[in-house]
C-alpha cells in the first residue's frame, strides 16, 4: 500500500552580535628602482605590524597572505611606451581582530601608519555552538507547527514521524546596520550575524 505522508520544511534563525573580525590589510609601493620600492614597502609594512601589536593584536593573528614584486611599463600621455619601468611591490596580511569595538580606530591607525589597501572585512562569532543548538531546535519546532497547520487545512490527522532531516545551512550571514563612528575613526559597524538552520519533518497521515 502507498504510504500517505505530509512533509513540512521550516527554518530557525538566531541573531548574534559579532565578537570577531577578519580583515585584509595591504601596503602598496612603487618606484623606478626595485630596491627603493622594496625598502619603502618593508618599512611601511613593519610600521603597520608594530601599530597592530601596539593596539593589542596578537602577533599570531597577523598572517601574510600575499607578497609580490612586478614591473610595469610606463606609458606617455599619448599611450606610447616610454621604455621606462616602474616596480610595484604589494604586501598583504590577514588580521584577526578579537575586539571589534577597536576595529574602527585600528583601521584609522594603520592607514595613517602606511597601509593603503583595506578590504575583505568579515565579521564572525568565536563560539557558535550554543546558537546552532538553539537554531536547530527552533527549526524543528517551526517544522512541526507547519506540519500541524497543513494537516488541519487538509482535514487529516498526523501520525508518527517518519523522517527528520536537519541542515545547518551556510556560513553565518552578516546583517549590516548603519555605520557608526566616534571621533576620527574609520566608520565601521559589525551589525549582526545570523545563524540559520533548515529542518524537514515527514509525518504519516492517519
- Taking each helix axis as running N to C, give the angle between helix 34-54 and helix 103-113, from 0 to 180 degrees, rounded to the nearest 10: 150
Q: Is the pLDDT of residue 184 over 60?
A: no
pTM of the model: 0.69
Question: All 3 cell numbers of residue 122?
Answer: 568579515
**Tens digits of per-residue pLDDT, 103-119?**
888 999 999 999 998 98
**Are 125 and 16 spatial neighbours (Cβ–Cβ below 8 Å)?**
yes
Indicate if the pLDDT at residue 174 is higher than 90. Answer: no
Q: How confident is the model at residue 187 (pLDDT cuts 50, 70, 90)?
A: low
pLDDT tens string 43-69:
999 999 999 999 999 999 999 999 999
Q: Which residue has the higher pLDDT, 135 or 172?
A: 135
**pLDDT the model gives residue 168:** 78
Half-sphere exposure of 84 (CA within 13 A, CB side): 9
| Mean pLDDT computed over 5-29 | 93
CA distances from 93 to 11, 12, 74, 90, 119 (A): 37, 36, 28, 10, 11
Supply the pLDDT for residue 169. Answer: 61
Q: Give the whole-angstrom CA distance, residue 13 versus residue 173.
A: 11
The answer on pLDDT for 181 being more than 50 is no
Contact by Cβ (8 Å): 193, 135? no
pLDDT for the residue numbered 79: 85
Of the spans 1-5, 29-33, 165-169, which averages the highest pLDDT?
29-33
Query: Tell me, what's the pLDDT at 170?
Result: 52
Distance between CA atoms of 114 and 154, rounded to whole angstroms?
A: 67
Element (H, E) at 111: helix 103-113
Most confident of 64-68, 75-79, 179-183: 64-68
Which of 159, 171, 57, 166 has its CA nearest to residue 106? 57
* 70-98: average pLDDT: 92
Pure H helices in 114-182: 129-154
Per-residue pLDDT tens over the stretch 143-160: 999 999 999 999 999 999
Is 79 strand, coil or helix?
coil
Amino acid at each position: 500500500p502507498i504510504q500517505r505522508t505530509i512533509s513540512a520544511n521550516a527554518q530557525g534563525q538566531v541573531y548574534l552580535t559579532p565578537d570577531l573580525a577578519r580583515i585584509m590589510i595591504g601596503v602598496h609601493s612603487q618606484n623606478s628602482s626595485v630596491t627603493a620600492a622594496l625598502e619603502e614597502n618593508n618599512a611601511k609594512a613593519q610600521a603597520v605590524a608594530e601599530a597592530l601589536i601596539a593596539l593589542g593584536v596578537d602577533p599570531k593573528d597577523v598572517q601574510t597572505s600575499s607578497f609580490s614584486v612586478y614591473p610595469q611599463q610606463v606609458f606617455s600621455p599619448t599611450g606610447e611606451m616610454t621604455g621606462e619601468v616602474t616596480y610595484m611591490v604589494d604586501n598583504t596580511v590577514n588580521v584577526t581582530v578579537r575586539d571589534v569595538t577597536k576595529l574602527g580606530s585600528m583601521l584609522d591607525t594603520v592607514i595613517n601608519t602606511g597601509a593603503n589597501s583595506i578590504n575583505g572585512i568579515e565579521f564572525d562569532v568565536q563560539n557558535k555552538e550554543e546558537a546552532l543548538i538553539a537554531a536547530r531546535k527552533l527549526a524543528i519546532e517551526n517544522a512541526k507547527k507547519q506540519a500541524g497547520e497543513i494537516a488541519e487545512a487538509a482535514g487529516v490527522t498526523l501520525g508518527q514521524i517518519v523522517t527528520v532531516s536537519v541542515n545547518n545551512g551556510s556560513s553565518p550571514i552578516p546583517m549590516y546596520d548603519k555605520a557608526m563612528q566616534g571621533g576620527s575613526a574609520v566608520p565601521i559597524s559589525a551589525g549582526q550575524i545570523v545563524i540559520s538552520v533548515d529542518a524537514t519533518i515527514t509525518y504519516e497521515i492517519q
